[in-house]
Structure 1
Amino acid sequence: MSFTWTAHRFAGGALALDVANSVVLRFDPQRRIDRFADFAAMDSFADAANLYGAERQRFGPLGRARPEHRKSFLDLREAADRHFRAKVLDQDRPDLLADLLEAIAAVLRRTPQRGGNIALDAATAHSALSLVSNPEPDRLKICPNCEWLFLDRSRNRSRTWCDMAVCGNRSKARRHYRRREETQP
């Protein structure tokens, strides 16, 4: 199956969140899709993050994660998702923070910077560490439509969806059709 990374896939506002969001329908075992199960998609994610990622200027051109580092990269993705999701849900879980910090350390110990480019896994570790060390818990949210994690960078912190053009429109369309069905005999 062919898959293309689009700007919508980078709605998280931080590389660590975009990586965590690479699992679509995470909590629906029947429909869950892990975009990184295909290593070619994982490799193309780095290229797309260079175009669409919110932190592309911070890291510069991202290189691909080395094949021997993919497992620690996926461990980092899962630890980041668990920790930041618990933060949004206001669950104080020191064990999840410890897991995330261990995953960050594992990636940073094994991932040298190559040729001026930082590898995707190292950049993700730096992004997650930045989110942990500069917490703005009221800016971190979960989209009520797709359940992706995202940073609300709006001035009044009122953003509801990860991407208004996709999830916001879907939610508004569902409400419209429900109201229409309720008014029809």
Structure 2
Amino acid sequence: MTFSWTPHRFSGGALALDVANSVVLRADPQRRIDRFSDAATMDAFSSGANRHGAERDLFGALEPVDEPARPGLVRLREAIDRHFRAEVLGRGKPALLADLLDAISATLRISGERPQALDCATARSALMLLSRPEPERLKICPNCNWLFLDRSRNRSRAWCDMAVCGNRVKASRHYRRNREEPQP
């Protein structure tokens, strides 16, 4: 099966969230897919973020992570997911924040000389998310469970991507409703 980094894969609204969302079906151990487990797919993420990422103008042209820094990017990704997911669910803990800050610090120490490297840009994106003025804009998609920023004017965005998750939920609801109603 071939895989490509499509616009939907960058619906998080921030590079740090898009990196966290590189694990598909995170909560389901049997079906979980880690897109960064393959080095070529991890390397291709930078190109996808350059084309489709919401913060592509902030960081310039992103470059793949050096091989020795890959475990650090995965550690950073997991710390981002744990901290921000807990915050959205109202279960934030100082220890999760400390782990995230530690992962950010380690990443910047290693890759700080390469500000365009994916890991360095992801760390900077996570710092920007930590300092965001409206934390209630961070949400979890009820369909795919991805983290995303609600940038809608009235803060009413329900899904990470209306064209994918929103349509799936609406189609499923329509199917159930039509199946339950008796046909004349």
TM-score band, normalised by the shorter chain?
over 0.9
The residue number in structure 2 matching 1:160 is 158
Deviations 1:130-152 (A, max 9, x none): 10122422100000000000000
Unaligned ranges ≥5, structure 1: none
Match of 1:119 among 114, 117, 120: 117
Q: Distance in 1 between matches of 2:140 and 2:81?
A: 11
Amino acid at match of 2:167: N
The residue number in structure 1 matching 2:80 is 80
- Give runs of aligned pairs for residues 13-162 of structure 1, distance below 5 A: 13-114=13-114, 118-162=116-160
Alignment check: 8 A CA contact 2:83 2:92 kept: no
Give 4+ residue runs of structure 1 displaced > 3 Å after superposition. Answer: none
Deviations 1:93-145 (A, max 9, x none): 1100000000000000000334xx61000000000011012242210000000
**Aligned-pair identity (%):** 67
Alignment check: 8 A CA contact 2:63 2:116 kept: yes
Q: Distance in 2 between matches of 1:120 and 1:37?
A: 16
The Cα RMSD (Å) is 1.0
How many residue pairs match? The answer is 183
Partner SS, residue 73 of structure 1: helix
Q: Distance in 2 between matches of 1:103 and 1:14?
A: 18
Q: Distance in 2 between matches of 1:140 and 1:147?
A: 12
Mapped pair 1:169 → 2:167 = yes
Alignment check: 8 A CA contact 2:83 2:96 kept: yes
Unaligned ranges ≥5, structure 2: none
Partner SS, residue 90 of structure 2: coil
TM-score (normalised: structure 1): 0.96
Q: Distance in 1 between matches of 2:55 and 2:122?
A: 10
Partner SS, residue 49 of structure 1: helix
Q: Distance in 1 between matches of 2:27 and 2:83?
A: 15
